[in-house]
Amino acid sequence: MWENILSELLVKHRGKTIGIALGLIASILFVSFGFWKTFFIAICIGLGYLLGKSIDDDKDIELWLKKLFKDK
Answer yes or no: do 38 and 22 share one domain: no
Residue by residue, DSSP assigns 18-65 as HHHHHHHHHHHHHHHH-HHHHHHHHHHHHHHHHHHHHHHTT--HHHHH
Domain count, the chain: 2
Whether the predicted pLDDT of 65 surpasses 70: yes
Answer yes or no: do 27 and 38 share one domain: no
In this prediction the pTM is 0.61
Answer yes or no: do 27 and 2 share one domain: yes
DSSP state of 13: S
Answer yes or no: do 61 and 39 share one domain: yes
Mean pLDDT within 1-11: 83
Answer yes or no: do 53 and 68 share one domain: yes
Whether the predicted pLDDT of 72 surpasses 60: no
Q: What is the pLDDT of residues 15-57, one digit of tens each?
A: 888 888 889 999 999 999 999 999 999 999 888 888 778 777 8
